[in-house]
Amino acid sequence: MNKILTGVVKSDKMINTAVVVVKHTKTHPKYKKIIKVHKSFLAHNDKKAKVGDTVQIEETRPMGHNKHFKIINIVKA
Query: Based on the structure, what is the number of domains in the chain?
Result: 1
Query: CA-CA distance, 8 to 17, in Å (whole number)?
Result: 14
Residue 75 reports pLDDT greater than 80: yes
CATH number, domain containing residue 71: 2.40.50.140
* pLDDT confidence of residue 37: 97
Handedness of CA 13, 58, 22, 51 (dihedral sign): positive
* pLDDT confidence of residue 38: 98
> Residue 2 — pLDDT band, cuts 50, 70, 90?
confident
Structural domain including 68 reads 4-76
* pLDDT confidence of residue 4: 97
7-61: per-residue pLDDT in tens? 999 999 999 999 999 999 999 999 999 999 999 999 999 999 999 999 999 999 9
